[in-house]
Structure 1
Amino acid sequence: MTRYAIIVGAGSGLSASLARAAAADGFKLVLVARDIAKLAPLVAELGARAMACDASEAAAVERLFAVAERDFGVPELVIFNAGYRARGLIAEIDPAEAEAALRNNALAGFLVGQGATRAMLPAAKGSIFFTGATAGIKGFAGSAPFAMGKFALRGLAQSMARELGPKGIHVAHFIIDGGIAGTRGSRSANDDDVLLSPQAIAETYLNVHKQHRSAWTHEIDLRPWNEAF
């Protein structure tokens, strides 16, 4: 069957770099987003398959993996790169925003992780990667919902790694500790490397995927040279 990767939360920025790095490594790609119209240029560039899915809905994620397995077989690599950022003072933020942050960071990560696990267990191989953030290790003022979701995602990755590592499935959590060049809210110029290069991040994901199981990375933090930690 086809050697392929699923990237959930596909779009521009990091996810596009992940897609290009995976394609260069020989993967066919299934790119997943709520709105797949925005993926048309990337799909055309890489010959990828776009699939619409709300990753916070169990039935939608179940359909995603059923169709992907039917058409391509068992995925070798699944990357959860979706997220939802909600900001506001704790006394003022709308509880619906907190719920949305939990659904789109924690619950969606769980559902994608569960779907990938079910697909990979019979073959006892594959990688499931989660894109985390500084907020997964440090909650900032005015950003409680995002921290709640990212802390939960990190806990999910830890639990899955301990459960699935002995079964041949590599689970890793990537803490992106800093702004990414070219993404919303960050300037695109990065000549002085004060922002994370999305291409460099993507190379790290692929390198972790290729690790021998005797030396698997479970968690890695990536930051530019100037970022305090």
Structure 2
Amino acid sequence: MDRKNPVAVVTGVGPGTGAAIARRFAREGYSVAMLARNRERLAALERDIPNSHAYQCDVTDEAQLDATIDAIGRELGTPKVLVHNAVGGAFGNFMEIDPKVLDQNFQVNTMALLYLARRLAPAMVAAGEGAIIASGNTSALRGKASFAGFAPTKAAQRILAESMARDLGPKGVHVAYVLIDAVIDLEWTRKRFPDAPKEFFITPAAIADEVWHVAHQDRCAWSFNVEIRPFRETW
């Protein structure tokens, strides 16, 4: 491994969006640290994606995060990009959900972003460059009845990211929120919507392309709120 390669940290790496983001950054010459809880799935992706590196980690556990970030620094180098793609979700109205589930989703979606940024942003500020991107969805903007266990945590995540952007932007660190207003093309979503046309879905690779673009925007034209959706999506 060439320690001169820039380092990207991607959380929530599974077979869909997370893997696509890791693959996109690795293809462009990054050493990619892939974080997730599932060791076997990470190991398979590590074998499949050149220049990727698996780190089993629960992003809600600060002790695990500290150990993982220390290992990334020793083995790969100081991260230049963070993509917080890990997500916790649940369906149900406010009477149906278990309050503990809402709290757990808050830990994954919002607190983990805080934990990660507090650990990685100082080095980015010192270097005068870097990018922190959170992957969001429409629940960050509206609270539908059946999303009571999820939407509040994504709204909080977006506001936290905005607060970080206002603080870190003048210091040279780009913070952005990529809001995915679409059904992602995955095996389980295809089964849920078996009659939907191809245009109904957004592909993980297309999401990864936009995340890559946002992470490398010219600093004279930085975005914060970035919304992406299929051309036939009603909004």
Both structures adopt the same fold (TM-score exceeding 0.5): yes
Q: Distance in 1 between matches of 2:230 and 2:135?
A: 16
List gaps (5 residues or longer) in structure 2.
none
Q: Distance in 2 between matches of 1:127 and 1:212?
A: 12
Q: Distance in 2 between matches of 1:6 and 1:205?
A: 13
Secondary structure, aligned partner of 2:150: helix
Does structure 2 retain, via aligned residues, the 8 Å contact 1:17–1:198?
yes
CA deviation after TM superposition for structure 1 residue 186, in Å: 3.5
CA deviation after TM superposition for structure 1 residue 63, in Å: 1.9
Residues 133 and 198 of structure 1, relative CA distance in 2, 3 Å threshold: same
CA deviation after TM superposition for structure 1 residue 191, in Å: 6.2
Q: Distance in 2 between matches of 1:37 and 1:15?
A: 15
Deviations 1:138-176 (A, max 9, x none): 111121121011001100110011000111111110101
CA deviation after TM superposition for structure 1 residue 192, in Å: 3.4
Match of 2:131 in 1: 127
2:201 to 181, 195, 201: 195
Match of 1:219 in 2: 225
CA deviation after TM superposition for structure 1 residue 226, in Å: 1.9
Secondary structure, aligned partner of 2:168: helix
Match of 1:86 in 2: 90
Match of 1:8 in 2: 11
Counterpart AA for 1:32:
L
Match of 2:212 in 1: 206
Match of 1:162 in 2: 166
Matches within 5 A, 1:40-51: 40-47=43-50, 48-51=52-55
CA deviation after TM superposition for structure 1 residue 119, in Å: 3.2
Residue range with higher mean Cα deviation, 144-153 or 58-67: 58-67
CA deviation after TM superposition for structure 1 residue 15, in Å: 0.8
Q: Distance in 2 between matches of 1:106 and 1:42?
A: 26
Count of residues paired in the alignment: 229
Counting aligned pairs with the same residue, the percent is 33
1:22 to 19, 25, 46: 25
Does structure 2 retain, via aligned residues, the 8 Å contact 1:84–1:104?
yes
2:81 matches 1:77: yes
2:111 matches 1:103: no
Residue range with higher mean Cα deviation, 123-132 or 43-52: 43-52
